[in-house]
Amino acid sequence: MAEAPLVIGGVAIARGTRHDISLPVADLYTGTPVTLPVHVICGRSAGPVMFVCAAIHGDEINGVEIIRRLLRLRELARLRGTLICIPIVNIFGFLNQTRYLPDGRDLNRSFPGSEAGSMTARLADLFLTEVAAKCHYGIDLHTGSAHRSNLPQIRANLDDARTLQFARTFQAPILINSNIRDGSLRQAADELGVTVVVFEGGERLRFNERVIRTGVHGIVASLRALGMLRQRSRPAETALPAPVVARSTRWIRAGRSGIHRIHARLGQRVRSGDTLGVISDPSGAGEEAVVTDVGGIIIGQNNLPLINEGDALFHVARFEDNREAAGQVEAFRDAIDAADPMRDVDAPPA
């Protein structure tokens, strides 16, 4: 019996074809229709189906550039299986440079959604039923939220053996064991048997070249590990070290309000008792050091100097061996910086 073709938005996806599909989402109050852009590459040979999506939060744009570069890879002409790319999920937030949709809701807390619900619920339902539910694997691209930047990292339920195996294929420098949150895409996909990991890196409304390179390399590495692309040995100068797994993470918070002068940097190894910054009032009086009570590596930080008491300032990940983990992260940074970001992406797809 012949294999039934994948169908997205009423379009049957035949083997060896590429499709750009626009899924109707809603009309703006101006009467302008808004659609969800879906790019589908179906290889000539059967294989896994994987989606890669970005801008579920509309102001998190690094993933949009990652997918743009991914779609230009000449090697995708030899794809096995099917790759579904959605560069902008929350088109409303993207247009308005905001995290949320017009109804003020967070799309990544609104899955599985409802076709008869709010605008956010309808978009969640559309994405889940037309894309995620038809895949075996998914990679959800994110950045830090307002005024926060993240070190490149994969967040996933590492207690699940299948998810851990998939997370390792991405070759991000750090893997974070992250519980599945209610209403998230990961939760809804998991209930459908779809394995999804989240890639975090950079900050909102800013491109970060290191994060973008890491994202492209990681997706390609996952495609190779799944057998969707051929294995290819990397030159020694671009070989990436194995990821390290964080045992736990903790946010270091402000003990007072004031102006924060940041001393530590993203990716830095810190020890318990280290000073990460100093907070004072605008005149410089009443200074108070920001001191970490845990050792590890800074994987996220608040870049805004204007701080209220209790604000999260530095996100520290702890490892079995913090020194070894710091060395791995530094080696990864050097390797990804040495890589040619335009290798194999210097021509549009055939």
Q: What is the pLDDT of residue 10?
A: 96
**Which residues are CB-neighbours of 223 under 8 A, at least 6 positions away?**
50, 79, 83, 229
Q: Which of 244, 274, 300 is the last residue of a domain?
A: 244
Is 343 among the domain residues?
A: no
In this structure, are residues 251 and 294 in contact, taking their beta carbons and an 8 Å threshold? no
Q: DSSP code of 86?
A: E
Q: pLDDT tens digits, residue range 105-145?
A: 999 999 999 999 999 999 999 999 999 999 999 999 999 99
Are 180 and 309 found together in one domain?
no
pLDDT at 349: 44
Same-domain check for residues 76 and 219: yes
Q: Tell me what pLDDT residue 237 has.
A: 39
Residues 224 and 283 in one domain: no
Q: Are residues 61 and 114 in the same domain?
A: yes
* Confidence at 341, pLDDT banded by 50, 70, 90: low
123 and 154 belong to one structural domain: yes
Average pLDDT of the chain? 93
Which residue range(s) make up the domain with 204? 14-244
Residues 238 and 257 reside in one and the same domain: no
Residue 303 lies in a domain: yes
1 confidence band (pLDDT: 50, 70, 90): very low
- Residue 273: which CATH number? 2.40.50.100
One domain for residues 81 and 112: yes
3-class DSSP state of 232: coil
Contacts of 73 (CB under 8 A, 6+ apart): 220, 344, 345, 349
- Here the CATH number for the domain that contains residue 214 is 3.40.630.10
104: tokens are 């003020």
- The answer to the question of residue 4 being in a domain is no
As a whole number, mean pLDDT of residues 199-224 equals 96
Q: How many domains does the chain have?
A: 2
Q: Which CA distances in Å does 302 have to 150, 241, 273, 290, 311?
A: 9, 27, 19, 13, 9
**Can you name the residues that pair with 83 across neighbouring β-strands?**
41, 50
**Reported pTM:** 0.94
- If asked whether residues 83 and 200 sit together in one domain, one would say yes
